[in-house]
Structure 1
Amino acid sequence: MTHIPTEQATAAASGAAATEQFRAKQRTETTDVDTRRVDTLVTALLTATHDIVRRHKVTYAEYDALKSWLIKVGEDGEWPLFLDVWVEHVVEEVANEDRVGSKGTIEGPYYVPGSPRLPAETTLPMRENEPGTPLLFQGQVRSVDGSPLAGASVEMWQADDDGFYSQFAPGLPEWNLRGTVIADATGHFMIRTIQPAPYQIPTDGACGSLIRAAGWHAWRPAHLHLKVSAPGHRLITTQLYFDGGQYVDNDIATAVKPELILSPTATGQGNDHEVTYDFVLDKA
């Protein structure tokens, strides 16, 4: 894991951490490359690029600016961020178009495998007096035929109340607001956490330069990340958002779906909230 020694989460530091996580993932996975698919996809990408140049009459100054920016994306380690924010949502849409169970969405660049295993009723690892609105997130994991999935894995990670992820920002405990919850014999889980905040993707690197040049905003709505799995079933990767939250209607990553919006209610205890959301997994 790349450590972040600075006082705040810079684009270069979080980009380096995301790049290292992706490289670690690639080292543990084997991919058979079909040369015909490479030929098809790269040819299509280049053809589309050539069409853009011709249609918009791209100048040499613009072409050189693009080359400079592409080099900077690599230097900043921001390829995972760029691809996950602006491309992954379409890859996810195609990959999951045949699902009949719960909806998925993008994984994003801040996933870290191996989080602590926790019981079905639990509290995510967090600091003492963790800032934010306490949230009880509960539900059941079922198969598409309605049968409960005993011992299903509900892997969860999220930003804190300041919009920062552990292992990608300084000063946070290693597994802060990250855990793998094992559902009970009826597929139920109860997870105590805090409601995360919207956050701005790093803007001091190459991706920030693109955002400013295009006049876009850099914000993601508050969300919970989850990977839910059970033997004999397809893993679902998803994010859950909050009804009425900022940027739900114009997420920079275009990852929000109506089926993924939560509506927490007050518990009557302080400012605590709770919400129930069930997961339905397709059979493998």
Structure 2
Amino acid sequence: MTATVPNPTAAGSGRNATERFAQKERSAATVDQARVSAIATDAITALHEVIRKHGVTYAEYDALKAWLIRVGEDGEWPLFLDVWVEHVVEEVANAGRLGAVGTIEGPYYIPGSPESRSEATLPMRDGEQGTPFLFQGTVTDLDGNPIEDAQVELWHADDDGYYSQFAPGIPEWNLRGTVRTGDDGRFAFHTIKPAPYQIPTDGSCGALIAAAGWHAWRPAHLHLKVSAPSKQLVTTQLYFAGGQHVEDDVAQAVKPELVLHPTPAASGRGEEVTYDFALDPA
């Protein structure tokens, strides 16, 4: 595995997230002008009401314009939107889901991670820091029937809170991998427990956090995408009971159904947990 090129945390991470989003395949469907007009009108009207409610001054207005320009220059629009907006979009999009519970994707997903069958040890550096962790489970349909050849993608931060391909000096696929389930629907990942981390604070999003007196912390979490033919893809994050900031996640993405309760591993090394995914029909 090759290491990423060193770059400043917020600026480098923001540029990488923006570049990845630009490469993302998006719908080529015809724009519905009436819908765009309705949504844009309501959003702008809501902003007008905020200005009136708080008596926004010209100095504050100019500060807003300068900050919006800086967000673009820093490449932090994906970070801003994924931290403060995406959780509501996800809530609306998945309101009718009956099976596995979803939450936000965040800005650090990379497709095409190394693939294994049924069980995998995530790529990691020699001496990777962190508690050894076994994450395992079964993918089924809503009736509990196991799904063969389901794809389970897992990625997460390291013990310092950094993601490969978004922070300097980390090998390309570090702590990223994919497992295809066998005929029993089972999967297993050997990895390490991630740590809580601050979202980058040396850029424009950090400036907003400091000005508002907020905190910038996300609880430790695993990211997953689980999919299978003729089933709905579920994108989710899983958190750890008792972990820091589970109760006050800056991204507001924690749900009770997504909190894990690990136990000491049967191997005697680290911890383990079992978590199953039931997929809705497409």
Q: Which category of TM-score, normalised to the shorter sequence, fits these structures?
A: over 0.9
Kindly tell me: are residues 268 and 101 of structure 1, through their superposed partners in 2, closer, same or farther at Cα, counting changes over 3 Å? closer
Match of residue 238, structure 1, among 220, 236, 239:
236
Q: Distance in 2 between matches of 1:24 and 1:32?
A: 20
Equivalent position SS for 1:245: coil
Say whether the 8 Å CA contact 1:123–1:192 is kept in structure 2.
yes
Q: Distance in 2 between matches of 1:181 and 1:12?
A: 32
1:253 offset after TM fit, Å? 0.1
Match of residue 223, structure 1, among 217, 221, 224:
221
Q: Which residue matches 1:81? A: 79
Q: Distance in 2 between matches of 1:75 and 1:215?
A: 23
1:30 offset after TM fit, Å? 2.5
Q: Which residue matches 1:21? A: 20
What letter corresponds to residue 24 of structure 1 in structure 2? Answer: Q
Q: Which residue matches 1:160? A: 158
Q: Distance in 2 between matches of 1:283 and 1:133?
A: 36
Q: Which residue matches 2:270? A: 272
Is 1:121 paired with 2:119? yes
Equivalent position SS for 1:186: coil
TM-score, with length taken from structure 1: 0.96
Q: Distance in 2 between matches of 1:38 and 1:77?
A: 25
Q: Which residue matches 2:183? A: 185
Report which stretch shifted further, 112-121 or 59-68.
Answer: 112-121
Q: Distance in 2 between matches of 1:239 and 1:267?
A: 21
1:270 offset after TM fit, Å? 4.8
Q: Which residue matches 2:249? A: 251
Q: Distance in 1 between matches of 2:243 and 2:84?
A: 21
Query: Which segments of 5 or more consecutive residues in structure 1 lack a partner in the other structure?
Result: none
1:268 offset after TM fit, Å? 5.6
1:146 offset after TM fit, Å? 1.3
Kindly tell me: are residues 268 and 235 of structure 1, through their superposed partners in 2, closer, same or farther at Cα, counting changes over 3 Å? closer
Query: How many residues in Structure 1 have an aligned counterpart in Structure 2?
Result: 279
Equivalent position SS for 2:252: coil
Say whether the 8 Å CA contact 2:6–2:169 is kept in structure 1.
no
Report which stretch shifted further, 208-217 or 118-127.
Answer: 118-127
Post-superposition CA distance 1:43-91 (Å, at most 9, x none):
0001001111111111000000000000000000000000000000000
Moved over 3 A (4+): 268-271
Post-superposition CA distance 1:130-177 (Å, at most 9, x none):
110000100000011211111100011100111000000111110001
Kindly tell me: are residues 121 and 252 of structure 1, through their superposed partners in 2, closer, same or farther at Cα, counting changes over 3 Å? same
Kindly tell me: are residues 275 and 264 of structure 1, through their superposed partners in 2, closer, same or farther at Cα, counting changes over 3 Å? same
Kindly tell me: are residues 133 and 29 of structure 1, through their superposed partners in 2, closer, same or farther at Cα, counting changes over 3 Å? same
Equivalent position SS for 1:58: coil
Query: Which segments of 5 or more consecutive residues in structure 2 lack a partner in the other structure?
Result: none
Say whether the 8 Å CA contact 1:149–1:186 is kept in structure 2.
yes
Q: Which residue matches 2:52? A: 54
Identity %: 66
